[in-house]
Structure 1
Amino acid sequence: MPTWITALASAFDFAAPLALLLLPLPLAARLIPPERQGGSGALRVPPSLVGGAEHAESIAARGRRRLWLVGTLWAALVVALAGPRLVLPATALPASAREIVLALDLSGSMERKDFSLDGETVSRLAAVKRVGAEFIRRRAGDRIGLVEFADQAYVAAAPTFDTATVARTLEEATIGLVGRSTGIGDGLGLALKRLAPAQVAAADGAGPPPSRDKVVVLLSDGANNAGQTAPKDVAALAKDLGVRVYTIALGPIDMADNPNNEQDVVDVETLRAMAETSGGRAFRVKTTDDLENVANAIDELEGGRAKAPPLPLRRDLWPWPAALAFLCACGLLATRRRI
């Protein structure tokens, strides 16, 4: 068989191919012998008596046209019922079983301009938006969510496979919507709640063991000074739930090295303890290059994505034979009125 015929045949399929077995049904009906007893009451009229009334168009020719219309109508209906579909080419997408929630500090100190992008000095938040959005877009195949915290914490984007939407949400983050303080414990707690709501029962021994494919990436440039929960206690809960926590301490100065006693410097020790408690890793970021390196490191640590089998995309074609059947029905009605 020629290659082009094989390619053409593989480009189409049917949702219900067994419906095509109905195609010869009218032919089978014609094989049934007519009833010979009793008569139908029809009157046979010689064609010569009605020839003038047909205006040079024979009854036999009109009957053949109606027969073609009926046959086409039946075939179109059966094909539409079979559900013809066009098979479109599809590419394999990366897939994994990971769920990642980014917990982002939106305190007032994130407005400080001590990072650089494209040769210009920018705020910490601007650098995080650029690098974080690129990281999210690279994680196609994962379920990604975004939690933002300051005085309070809220879910900016629930975990979803739509990484492009989550990246846009991060790029639209604004300081001041939830205060200007730093509630690290509440931010991590809300991330755990949205990331693994079904894991609480498992941690209490009432369900299956927790998954090790759930991750929180928490970024902060300050110390916990708001909220109702202690960061280290929430990190212990993350360990019980089987959730790894990667912490990113952002800013050039930390609490352990603060000769000028500046306010709102990052608490590196607490963030490191949170990561170690949960089984994750702590990262220190002082420049935009550091931030990009950390994003690449987490991307490698949470790799393991493989190409999922491509799912064929199909476009329904049944409206076309259905429309043809409708036109044939209209043609039959028009021919009947003329008779």
Structure 2
Amino acid sequence: MLTFAWPYLFILLPLPLLFKTKQKQQTGHLHLPGVGHGQQANLSSKGKPKRILLWLMWALLITAVARPLWVGEPIELPAKGRDLMVAVDLSGSMQIDDMVLNGQNVDRFTVIQHVVSDFIDRRKGDRIGLILFADHAYLQAPLTLDRKTVAQYLREAQIGLVGKQTAIGEAIALGVKRFDKLDNSNKVLILLTDGSNNAGNIAPLQAAELAKDSGVKVYTIGVGADEMLRRSLFGTQRVNPSSDLDEATLTKIAQITGGEYFRARDPQQLEQIYHEIDKLQPVSRDQLSYRPQTELFYWPLAFSLLASALMAIGSLPLFQRKRTEKSQ
């Protein structure tokens, strides 16, 4: 909305009237020699546009001095909040379409994008970061209050973007590194994967010990259905698409760091897991808020200068001569 920093300065608007009244009292009426009353009235009427322009300039100057501001929507800032880093597996196995979303078979990563984006949007007051990992782990978004941008980065991610394998230990270590310089904060890392560690330069349990020493709590989530139908030359077979999921290691990581391990076999379970995490790590409540302000004083100031320039151009001898010729 539009507001003014110093609205009381508008009381200066009638100030020129005081000087005009005082001047009339001191000098009286001015009679031009050789000009009749009718001609004087005609000259006076020609000065009306000039007086209107002067009043407009004065009003614009007062408006500029009063500091018009455009105040935006309130933005909440946590005074003492939680910092959540979300690490998402982009390995090739995330392409397995063993999930059902809105009545259609979809791959695991599509479900993660759908559910995790909603989770990120609910974490008002918390700082959120995003790590993507496959052959190696990469920081896609640092810890930020801009939840919409983090969710957008997740929606734009592609399977195989950073390789085909799974570097779980490296993802945890990168998350711990991003938390290193943070004090007075609940440090939480949420790791989603559908496989086992087969890449990277650090073992998952070694990374879990680093997380424990740094006060980072890790919640691990194993994604994938227990069975799915697969067609082959020998007909339809029931297979376990999550046979590569290393639940033992994921459980141990959670135990070491004081977190929990969850199993997500379908979108509903994954959604429920994030509701459980909301209970275990509630949204920050100690918050500050501010409303961004945009200065607008330069607009009335610019228009006032433009009016002044028009008046100066109009007073040039060339324009004065043309007016005289027209009047004759």
Tell me the TM-score normalized by structure 1.
0.72
Q: Distance in 1 between matches of 2:244 and 2:305?
A: 74
Which residue does 1:145 correspond to in 2? 129
Partner AA of 1:165 in structure 2 = T
Equivalent of residue 246 in structure 1, options 219, 233, 254:
219
Partner AA of 2:206 in structure 1 = D
How do residues 283-298 of structure 1 correspond to structure 2 at under 5 angstroms? 283-298=262-277
Which residue does 2:172 correspond to in 1? 188
Unpaired segments ≥5 residues, structure 2: 24-29, 228-238
How do residues 218-229 of structure 1 correspond to structure 2 at under 5 angstroms? 218-229=191-202
- Cα gap change, 1:155 to 1:66, in 2 (>3 Å): same
Q: CA deviation at 1:55?
A: 5.7
Contact map agreement 2:99 2:225 (CA 8 A) in 1 = no
Contact map agreement 2:226 2:242 (CA 8 A) in 1 = no
Contact map agreement 2:224 2:241 (CA 8 A) in 1 = no
Which residue does 2:4 correspond to in 1? 14
Equivalent of residue 156 in structure 1, options 140, 143, 159:
140
SS state at 2:3 partner? strand
- Cα gap change, 1:306 to 1:57, in 2 (>3 Å): same
Q: Distance in 1 between matches of 2:157 and 2:56?
A: 60
- Cα gap change, 1:305 to 1:261, in 2 (>3 Å): closer
1:47 equivalent to 2:32? Answer yes
Equivalent of residue 131 in structure 1, options 115, 120, 141:
115
Q: Distance in 1 between matches of 2:282 and 2:163?
A: 35
How do residues 260-339 of structure 1 correspond to structure 2 at under 5 angstroms? 265-306=244-285, 311-312=290-291, 318=297, 321-322=300-301, 325-326=304-305, 328-330=307-309, 332-333=311-312, 336-337=315-316, 338=320
Q: CA deviation at 1:161?
A: 2.2
Q: Distance in 1 between matches of 2:64 and 2:82?
A: 42
Equivalent of residue 112 in structure 1, options 96, 106, 111:
96
- Cα gap change, 1:103 to 1:87, in 2 (>3 Å): closer
- Cα gap change, 1:177 to 1:333, in 2 (>3 Å): closer
Which residue does 2:26 correspond to in 1? none
Contact map agreement 2:82 2:284 (CA 8 A) in 1 = no
Q: 1 or 2, which has the higher strand percentage?
A: 2
Contact map agreement 2:82 2:186 (CA 8 A) in 1 = yes
Aligned residues: 300
Contact map agreement 1:215 1:246 (CA 8 A) in 2 = yes
Contact map agreement 2:127 2:144 (CA 8 A) in 1 = yes
Q: CA deviation at 1:178?
A: 2.1
1:230 equivalent to 2:213? Answer no
SS state at 1:182 partner? coil
Cα RMSD (Å): 3.8
Equivalent of residue 70 in structure 1, options 51, 54, 58:
54
